[in-house]
Amino acid sequence: MASVIREIVIDATPSEVWAVIGDFASGPTKMAPGFVTDTQLEDPDTRLVTFVNGDVARERLIARDASARRIVWAFTDGWARPTHNNAAMQIHADGDHRSRLVWTHDVLPDNLAERLAAAMDGGLPIIKQTIEKRTATA
């Protein structure tokens, strides 16, 4: 199984980052506007996420732990048809007013990892910029 792990430091408190990342219903659109063009909640545990390149992913909420600031989801349908998929984002404190976002994606078959890594690499700077801008104006 391939694992893709990315981390980024965000100049915002963990609670400020969690307010965006932990929102399963509309978090993708809030955290990466322009990269994610739409997020539609199909039911409380399933969302349809549309990306700027036209890719669409149906994702199922697996776990949401507010005390650990961790959210886990899996692709169930869309551009990727994995035999196994598990993604998680978790926020950790990094100093007094900064956070470290850890994004992990485990996937089978392994050949999907390269495309997921590219998407994560493209999305993380947008997430950082969006949350920092959002918290600077709050």
Please state the pTM of the whole predicted model.
Answer: 0.91
| Position 45 pLDDT exceeds 80 | yes
| Position 79 pLDDT exceeds 70 | no
Alpha carbon of 22 to those of 4, 89, 120: distances in Å?
Answer: 20, 9, 17
**What pLDDT score was predicted for residue 87?**
95
CATH classification (class only), 2-136:
alpha beta
Task: Report domain extents, the chain.
Answer: 2-136
Span 62-76, pLDDT tens digits = 999 999 999 999 988
